[in-house]
Amino acid sequence: AARVNAELNGLDNCEFIAGDVLRVIDDIEDKPDFIVLDPPRDGINPKALLKIINYGVKELVYISCKPTSLARDLETLQEHGYFVTKACA
């Protein structure tokens, strides 16, 4: 869906990578402007979250369907310098 939407909106400078963060993040050659995270209901694997943090991307978009796992992951992200700029329900 993301690729189709990007094409419909004339965005040709996007790359979409789907998969287990623990496996795919090490294969990213160029540092992206931001990462969109859409983890399973239980949130991001703590090791994967640390890989994302260590990767040093400037901005994250976090999509969550479970407030408790979101809160846990946000706490870790905030401990490492990230902060929430917008939240929607």
Q: Which residue has the tokens 């990007």?
A: 6
Which residues have CB under 8 Å from 23's CB, separation 6+?
A: none
Q: Tokens standing for 65?
A: 């369907």
12 marked as part of a ligand binding site: no
Task: Write down the catalytic residue from 65, 67, 80, 84.
Answer: 65
* 65 is known as an active-site residue: yes
Which residues face 59 on adjacent strands? Answer: 34
Residue positions annotated with a catalytic role: 65
